[in-house]
Amino acid sequence: MVSPIVSVFGADVFQQLVAVGAAFGPAGAFISPLSIYIALALALNGATPNTTTYSQLWTPLAKSITPAPFVTLPQLNSYTRVLTRTLIREARAADGTEMMISNVIFTNRTPVEAEYAAVALGSFNAPVLNATSATPINNWVKKKTNNLIAEAVPSTLKFKLLVVNSIYFFGSWVIPFNKTYTRSEPFTTPEGSKIQVYMMHSKFTGMVFEGLRLPQIRIDDTDAASGGYRAVKLTYRDSNFSAIALLCDEKKHKLDASACLNSLDIEDVLSGAGWRDISHFDSIKLPRFEVEVKQLSVTKALQAMGVKEPFSDAAKFRKLSSTPLKIDDIYHSSVVKVDEEGTEAAAVTVVVFGPTAAPGETLEFNRPFVFLVYDEEQAAVMFMGVVNRPTEAK
């Protein structure tokens, strides 16, 4: 397994979102760690090196695990580029799996530095496009997410520049749930009430599957933080993609699945250790579900992780634009649908840049200075000298 830094970063963000009381919605709480990571990596490339703005963005992206898998920005960009291309390539080679990862920079009459534009395009395949309202942004998002997300930013959004990432995924189960077994059954909500849901059943007893990457189960009764858990890994057809459904110990976390998630060692869960053949159970029961999170602000969560100056008037994004900019907000939307056939999901992260309240730096010639006139191509100076006493104002 390659470095799980994106997943560990995502677990940290999710934990902070819960801590700050993020408004996910009643159906559930979902984020895309990969989408947020890529969007922040694009923002990091615009930060002025050797500044607090840069270091505060760098730390959660590069130091979520020890030792860090990279120590320079070009290495981080290379890691992100290779990871993105690998995921897309794996999906294209699979039957029944789709993956689309897209990036773009929208500018509202704000100049973008040529060097930044080159890195954005070369490492992130992110072109720079013009937009003066939210309409073209939301239209772009709708297209890139197969219509799952229609409005990534408010229609009244004011901005100078946007950094946008979108992810779309569709995967078919290796072993689909048989719809004839789907029944209306009770499900206990976090409040303790019971609702009727469509419970899907997958039976494994007596079945033979040759040449398939089969579902697996994991039972861990030794994890003190989670109180132990039971999990199933459901595999997607002809690919390395999988889904994990996990139940923590009910005595430890009651009905709080967010507390369960935050207690897990995500690196350990994702590792191959402890997973074994599905035959321990003769069937799995999983409800159909659709969870949508709209325009969730992740700003407070990132600030709790130490990313503060990028959101302030002291922010320095000189590699992004000559216009003084700060991050006004970061919107994150996601949709996850699971049924008998598989999973369809999408996510969008929008980093909204606005003007700083503080004025930009001014180069003021208010003391004696050098002045010359020359031909650039020939490097020939026609006039050269110093100014000690400019014309006095009358």
The CATH number that applies at residue 206 is 2.30.39.10
Any domain includes 97: yes
**In terms of domains, do 24 and 135 share one?**
yes
CATH value at residue 323 = 3.30.497.10
In this structure, are 159 and 32 located in the same domain?
A: yes
Domain of 199, in residue numbers = 179-288+346-387
d(CA 82, CA 260): 32
Task: Output the tens digit of pLDDT for each of the chain's 394 residues.
Answer: 456 888 889 999 999 999 998 888 888 889 999 999 999 999 999 999 999 999 999 999 987 666 777 889 999 999 999 999 999 998 998 888 999 999 999 999 999 999 999 999 999 999 999 999 999 999 999 999 999 999 999 999 999 999 999 999 999 998 899 999 999 999 998 888 899 999 998 876 545 455 566 788 888 877 666 678 888 888 888 888 889 888 888 788 888 888 888 888 888 888 877 888 776 677 888 999 999 999 999 999 999 999 999 999 999 999 999 999 999 999 999 999 999 999 999 999 999 999 998 655 567 778 877 767 665 666 777 556 666 778 777 7
- Distance from first CA to last CA of the chain, Å, rounded? 75
- The region, left, alpha or beta by phi > 0 then psi within -120 to 50, assigned to residue 204 is alpha
Do both 241 and 377 map to the same domain?
Answer: yes
Q: Are residues 106 and 223 in the same domain?
A: no
Work out whether the CA dihedral 53, 164, 291, 278 comes out positive or negative: negative
Considering the domain architecture, whether residues 351 and 260 belong to the same structural domain is answered as yes
Pair 158, 354: CB distance under 8 Å: yes
Q: Does 121 reside within a domain?
A: yes
d(CA 249, CA 103): 39
For residue 64, being part of any structural domain is answered with yes
Radius of gyration over alpha carbons of the chain, in Å? 25
On whether the CB atoms of residues 282 and 221 are closer than 8 A, the answer is no
As a whole number of angstroms, the distance between CA 392 and CA 394 comes to 6
**Beta pairing partners, 242:** 235
Looking at residue 167, its pLDDT comes to 95
Instruction: Find out whether 303 and 312 touch, Cβ atoms under 8 Å.
Output: no
CA 389 to chain CA centroid, nearest Å: 56
207 and 330 belong to one structural domain: no
Dihedrals phi, psi of 254, to nearest 5 degrees: 55, -120
Indicate whether 262 and 380 sit together in one domain: yes
Provide the pLDDT for residue 256.
Answer: 87
240 in a domain, yes or no? yes
For the entire predicted model, the pTM comes to 0.89
pLDDT at residue 1, rounded to an integer:
43
Count: domains in the chain: 2
Same domain (yes/no): 116, 69: yes
**Both 99 and 213 in a single domain?**
no
Beta-strand relationship, 229-235 and 183-188: unpaired
3-state secondary structure of 381: strand
- pLDDT at position 264 is 87
Examine the domain organization and report whether 233 and 219 are in the same domain.
yes
Q: Tell me the helices (H) and strands (E) count for the chain, helix number first.
A: 10, 15
Residues with Cβ within 8 Å of residue 217, at least 6 apart in sequence: 230, 231, 232, 233, 275, 276, 277, 278, 280, 281
- Do 17 and 158 lie in one domain? The reply is yes
Both structure tokens of 119: 């890195």
Closest by Cα among 199, 11, 206, 165 to 80: 165
Q: Do the domain assignments include residue 295?
A: yes
Are 236 and 98 spatial neighbours (Cβ–Cβ below 8 Å)? no
The pLDDT score that the predictor gives to residue 347 is 95
Does 208 share its domain with 295? no
On whether the CB atoms of residues 232 and 279 are closer than 8 A, the answer is: no
Rounded to whole angstroms, how far apart are CA atoms 204 and 215?
A: 10
